[in-house]
Chains A and B, each alone.
Chain A
Amino acid sequence: MDHLEELENISVRILREAYANFKNLGMLWSMGKDSTVLLWLTRKAFFGHVPFPLIHIDTHYKIPEMIAYRDRLTREWRLPMVIGWNPEALAEKQTYPDGNVDRLTCCSLLKSLALKNTLNGKGPRLRYNHLAQQYEPEPNPEPFTGVIVGARADEEGSRSKERYFSPRNQQNEWKIADQPPEFWNQYKTDFAPGTNVRIHPLLDWTELNIWEYIEREKIPTVSLYYNQGDGKRYRSLGCYPCTFPIESEARNVHEIVEELKVGRYANIAERSGRAQDKDDGGGLETLRREGYM
């Protein structure tokens, strides 16, 4: 068994544990490389099926190509797709691109708050109807008690301390100093009413592992990750006002693997292109305590 098989088997086991233990389970899919690998692993775990909804938190500032990719795979793989967003913040233009709030507040409104209200069923949700081939409002959204997320420990400090099964209290907060023990493949699957659990099957994967796996399994990805001739590519995808491409000659998956293994980015952190991480010393940690992915 090589290192990718080892990682795959651990992730598959975690996904199956999540499915066996949570009645209202969902998975966040941002169309980025990590959560797309997560989606692929889900199809592995359940033999071609995706037995729970995929949730996309739409900030309305995603790069359009990502949305097109989302809708294409939704149709081709017949995915149970659900979309949530923060209608108030968008209507009142409480966003960074509108110039009314700073980057962290924008993230907190369009991502954390939108996520919280999509999960607890208080916010609006759209679900893709495969017969009618369109998104339709979900009439009685039930709260999700388990949410599968593609966070990796190597992304930044606070994520490196996560659990595979990480509880959130009724306010969706993460209590870093008081996390449950997790050993011998036993996770926190018992929880008090009103709380929910984040499940992180990709915790042990590195950015390089993700690309090696995409290469091995031939997983379709958004073309924004590749240099299309302008000497630039996105290393990490987010909202266009806050995510910037990096200098790169990598034109395909294999060249990205080489670039990360021995090339110019072998020692440079992935999220260096994300502006919100820099606004304050522990910006991402603050966001994550409040429920950011």
Chain B
Amino acid sequence: MAANNASIVTPRTDEKMDVVFVGHVDHGKSTIVGRLMADTGSLPEGKLEQVRRNCERNSRPFEYALLIDALKDESSQNITIDAARVFFKSALRHYMILDAPGHIEFIKNMVTGAARAEAALLVIDAEEGIQENSRRHGYLLKMIGIRQVIVLINKMDLVEYRQEVFERLRSEYGAFLDSIGVQPMCYIPVSGREGDNIAFPSQRMPWFQGHTILTALDSFEKSRPLTDHPLRIPVQDIYRFTLFGDDRRIVAGTITSGTLRVGDEVVFYPSGKRSVVKTIEAFNRPPQEKAFAGQAVGFTLEQQVYIQRGEIAALANEPPPKVSRKIHASLFWLGKEPLTTRKQYILKLGTARVRAQVERIVSVQDAASGQIITGRSQVEHHEVAEIDLSLQSDLAFDLSGSLVETSRFVVVDNYEISGGGIILSEIADSESWVREKVMTRNLRWVQGGVTLEQRQERLSQRPALILITGTRGVGRKRLARELEKSLFQSGRFVYYLGFGSVIYGVDADLKRNGSPESQQEHIRRLAEVAHLLLDAGLILILTAVEFTQDDLRLMQTIVDPQYIETIWVGEAQTTDIHFDLKLESLENVESAVTQIRYLLQEHGVIFRY
């Protein structure tokens, strides 16, 4: 077959598409990609000759895979370690081809390669048939969210180009794909080594009239950005670059779906804060009136609201994202250590980052055999599972059934991304009743003329809620007063609010019967009062007997968790609360005050003098 005399191809369009080759180890992915490059004249001049010469020098047979497996380790072991990118042009468009590794050890590299692609070609060895990773890769393609899949039955030369081999594998693998909900676009019998149905139709398989790989690639459809879906912008940052007299306060992020226009009313989740888009900013480009899914944008707001990285911007007149602290998800695990219910993880979704714990492992599926196992206490690497996660703070997200991009998350274990998941449903948590109230409050909030930032600058302090808790009679109130005095004397704007000061006024209508409902409502009101005082820029000191982690979680739903400093007083800890500081005794109140002040400095509430 003509390998060297192909002339330079100039595609009709500038369109670019990323595709990935996956499949079991040694089923010939790199060979096919190398052959495709060679037969379409896509190799850099001299590369083919250089690899041929190297082979002669080392007395080994020439292989097309060597063109692709450029890394030293790979050419010596003859396997692909990491997904390599090669660039390739057809008559239609430009391709970036990712050649993913098929070895089980390198699954995370396969996932990395596949996740970049819009379409996948899954390679199966005609002689060896369907293997473990043929199925596992099929599964992962589904999880990663690749919809366009073509199956290549490779090494047809080793089975004398027999049609029945091709047909048997097609029905066998087709049944598997069907069971996991993947519909491939077509199956092609090929030989990477001999060049059959790669760039040119094969003369040796007259029984097959379908696509070559080259024409199949051009039949993939370019995925279009989701401009007509509800708007979602995970907030990456809020920029305030004051250099050269710039006074813009720009909210930056990439639009994952929908369309943003100047004048739109936007709501940020999970906080529920809202404002109106004033401008869409750009550099070296005239100001824009609109921005679309796929664009990395920046916009300014009419009314300044305090929002942070991790929130999702949506439009007030479109369906909002969900907000919860409990989710039900499907997940694939790549970690070296198993995923367990005993450990704390970090979950990253969009630009949000929250602490997470696995509450329940519903079921585990062996991605190679398809077998479903229940009653497991951990998820091993390369397994797929359905799990319930509980999160330490509110998270905004969508469900995979509605907006897939904002339903995807990764799990970080010990600094490493160790798993990927999609959220199937939200689970109502015990704070749901409060969260609705808080979102309505934020939605209806009347904006003042002075911003929190201006207050912080004037007062030289960041608002904070210092929650002092511990067993009865340990001296919490005395500590609160001493701390208040100390901070006040050094010029801080501080206030001590005792529980008793709220019960008979704010809570006058509440029954004090000790029921969980009245206790929760009591905390809710106290937290709302705290929220007002923090918004005024105050450092607020609160004391409470034996606050539990549930109590704290309720409070964190109402008051931004980053403002809360928790201090446990007393030797023995009698509740499950997570604290920032523990003071074993108050014998020396002065030293206790100093320790708290040090904590406040560390956390940037007050500054060193």
Proximity string of chain A (262-289) to chain B, C-beta cutoff 8 Å, 1 when within and 0 when not: 1000111100000000000110010000
Counting CB contacts under 8 A, is B236 at the interface? yes
Counting CB contacts under 8 A, is B362 at the interface? no
**Distance A8 CA – B283 CA, assembled complex (angstroms):** 12
Contact partner of A157 (CB less than 8 A), chosen from B84, B111, B296, B348, is: B84
Hey, which chain A residues are within 8 Å of B292, CB to CB? 1
Cβ contact within 8 Å between B243 and A267: no
**Distance A163 CA – B85 CA, assembled complex (angstroms):** 11
A residues 235-264 near B (Cβ < 8 Å) are: 261-262
B253 nearest in chain A by CB position: A16
Counting CB contacts under 8 A, is B94 at the interface? yes
Counting CB contacts under 8 A, is B295 at the interface? yes
A280 nearest in chain B by CB position: B72
Cβ contact within 8 Å between A47 and B250: yes
Cβ contact within 8 Å between A186 and B81: no
Counting CB contacts under 8 A, is A181 at the interface? yes
Given known A176-B73, A183-B144, contact A16–B237 (CB-CB < 8 A): yes
Cβ contact within 8 Å between B295 and A1: yes
Given known A9-B295, A48-B246, A285-B71, contact A3–B112 (CB-CB < 8 A): no
Hey, which chain B residues are within 8 Å of A262, CB to CB? 8, 10
**Distance A157 CA – B94 CA, assembled complex (angstroms):** 19
B residues 186-244 near A (Cβ < 8 Å) are: 225, 236-237, 239, 241, 243-244
Given known A6-B294, A51-B241, contact A190–B84 (CB-CB < 8 A): no
Counting CB contacts under 8 A, is B54 at the interface? yes
Given known A179-B82, A267-B8, contact A282–B72 (CB-CB < 8 A): yes
Counting CB contacts under 8 A, is A13 at the interface? yes
The stretch of B265-273, B320-328, B407-415, B464-472 in contact with A is: B407-415
Counting CB contacts under 8 A, is B512 at the interface? no
Counting CB contacts under 8 A, is B443 at the interface? no
Hey, which chain A residues are within 8 Å of B473, CB to CB? none
**Distance A203 CA – B294 CA, assembled complex (angstroms):** 18
Hey, which chain A residues are within 8 Å of B8, CB to CB? 262, 266-267
Counting CB contacts under 8 A, is A206 at the interface? yes
Counting CB contacts under 8 A, is B583 at the interface? no
Given known A1-B225, A181-B334, A269-B44, contact A20–B70 (CB-CB < 8 A): no
Contact partner of A183 (CB less than 8 A), chosen from B41, B43, B115, B346, is: B115
Cβ contact within 8 Å between A190 and B16: no
Contact partner of B83 (CB less than 8 A), chosen from A9, A161, A191, is: A161
A261 nearest in chain B by CB position: B10
**Distance A1 CA – B18 CA, assembled complex (angstroms):** 16
Contact partner of B54 (CB less than 8 A), chosen from A17, A46, A281, is: A281
CB distance from A67 to the nearest CB of B (A): 25
B353 nearest in chain A by CB position: A189
Counting CB contacts under 8 A, is B254 at the interface? yes
Cβ contact within 8 Å between B45 and A188: no
Given known A267-B44, A269-B44, contact A183–B70 (CB-CB < 8 A): no
Cβ contact within 8 Å between A268 and B45: yes
Hey, which chain A residues are within 8 Å of B346, CB to CB? 190
Proximity string of chain A (1-27) to chain B, C-beta cutoff 8 Å, 1 when within and 0 when not: 111111111101100110110000000
Cβ contact within 8 Å between A285 and B14: no
B residues 287-305 near A (Cβ < 8 Å) are: 292, 294-296, 298
Counting CB contacts under 8 A, is B109 at the interface? yes
Cβ contact within 8 Å between A161 and B84: yes
Cβ contact within 8 Å between A48 and B283: yes
Cβ contact within 8 Å between A181 and B111: yes
Counting CB contacts under 8 A, is B309 at the interface? yes
22 A–B contacts from the bound complex (CB under 8 Å): A3-B15, A12-B254, A13-B236, A13-B296, A16-B252, A16-B253, A44-B284, A45-B296, A47-B241, A47-B281, A49-B241, A51-B241, A78-B244, A158-B70, A160-B84, A161-B84, A161-B85, A176-B81, A181-B334, A186-B410, A269-B47, A285-B71
A-B complex: 8 closest residue pairs judged by Cβ atoms: A157-B70, A183-B115, A181-B108, A12-B296, A161-B82, A269-B44, A153-B85, A3-B16
Chain B interface (Cβ < 8 Å from any Cβ of A)? 8, 10, 14-16, 18, 41-47, 54, 70-73, 81-87, 94, 96, 108-109, 111-112, 114-116, 144, 225, 236-237, 239, 241, 243-244, 246, 248, 250, 252-254, 281-284, 292, 294-296, 298, 309, 334, 346, 348, 351, 405, 408, 410, 412, 415-417, 420
Chain A interface (Cβ < 8 Å from any Cβ of B)? 1-10, 12-13, 16-17, 19-20, 43-49, 51, 78, 153-154, 156-158, 160-161, 163, 176-177, 179-186, 188, 190-192, 203-204, 206, 217, 261-262, 266-269, 281-282, 285
